[in-house]
Every structure is written in structure tokens, then in C-alpha cells.
Structure 1
């Protein structure tokens, strides 16, 4: 199955309400449309730390670039920005460990 796309909310000077969170999908995983200015916010609603992986689909000199793996503590939120399209692509593959990770994305 294809990855579940995380919707991106456009911000404006009129103000924007927070979108509904996308539940993590550890089976199908996710894709984030990325312009390099896209902001990803991830909340861990679980009772234990959970991993989020930003997959780097590029290679340098024939070698795969290591993925970015972040452990998000229980009850905490992490915000990711400046996701370089040269490193992560224009559709960032995101792997989650659990449905307890809640994802939203913004674009200025």
C-alpha cells in the first residue's frame, strides 16, 4: 500500500486553526509533501518513548545516507523544520513506531 500522506496546512496572516492530527500508521507509514519550508509537529500521546524516522532516500558516492531517527518521550511534542529537499526529497518518507504518534504539518 502507498504511504499515508500527511496534509499540510497553509499558514496566513489571517490566522490558521490547528488541523486535525493524523494518527501514526506503523503499517503503511507516511509521506510528507516538502518544500524545504514545511514544518512537521509530532506529539507522542503514548505512555512510553516512541521513535520517529525521517527516511533519507538519497545516496552519496553510492552509499545510503543514514536516516534521522528521533526518540520522542511520552507526552512530549517535537517540531521539525528546514527539511532539505536535497536530503529528504520533496515527499519525505516518515516511519512511525506507533499510532500514538500524532502528526500535523504546516507551510508558511
Structure 2
């Protein structure tokens, strides 16, 4: 099954209510439309820590660039931004280890 795209909410000076969160899909993963200014917010809705992986789909000199793995502590929310399109691409692959990770994305 293909990766599920995470919807991106455009922010404005009119304000915007938080969008519905995308439930993490550990089996199929996600893709994030990424302009380099996109912000990804990840909420851990569990009493245990879980891992989010920003997959780097590029190679340098024929070698894979290491993925970025981040542990999201129990009950914590972390935000990620300035995701370089040269490193992560314009459709950033994202893997999660649990459906307890809830994802939202914003674009300024």
C-alpha cells in the first residue's frame, strides 16, 4: 500500500483551528508535502516513548544518507521545521513505530 499523504494546513492572519490529526500508520508510513517551510507537529498520545523517522531518500557518492530518527517522549508534542528539500525531498517519507503518534502539518 502506498504511503498516506499528511494534509498540510495553510496558516493565515485570520487564524485557523487545529486540523484533525493524522493517525500514525506503522505499516505503510506517510509522505509529507514539503516546501522547506512546512512544519510537522507530532503528538505522542501514549504513556510510552515512540520513534518518528524522517526518511532521507537521497544518496551522496552512491551511499545512502542516514535517516533522522527522533524519539517522541510519552505524552509529548514535538514540532519539526526547516526540512531541507535537498535532504528530505518535496514529498518527505515519514515512518512511525506506533499509531499512538498523531501528525499534523502546517505551511506559513
TM-score (norm 2): 0.99
Q: Which structure 1 residue ranges, 4+ long, deviate > 6 Å from structure 2?
A: none
Q: Which runs of 5+ in 1 are unaligned?
A: none
* Residue 64 of structure 1: aligned partner: 64
Give 1:28 shift: 1.0
Q: Which runs of 5+ in 2 are unaligned?
A: none
Distance in structure 1 (CA, Å) of the matches to 2:105 and 2:26? 18
Provide the aligned C-alpha RMSD in A. 0.4
The correspondence of residues 28-107 of structure 1 with structure 2, limited to 5 A, is 28-107=28-107
Give 1:96 shift: 0.2
TM-score (norm 1): 0.99
What's the CA shift string for 1:22-80, capped at 9, x where partnerless? Answer: 00001111000000000000000011100000000001111100000000000001100
Distance in structure 2 (CA, Å) of the matches to 1:4 and 1:11? 22
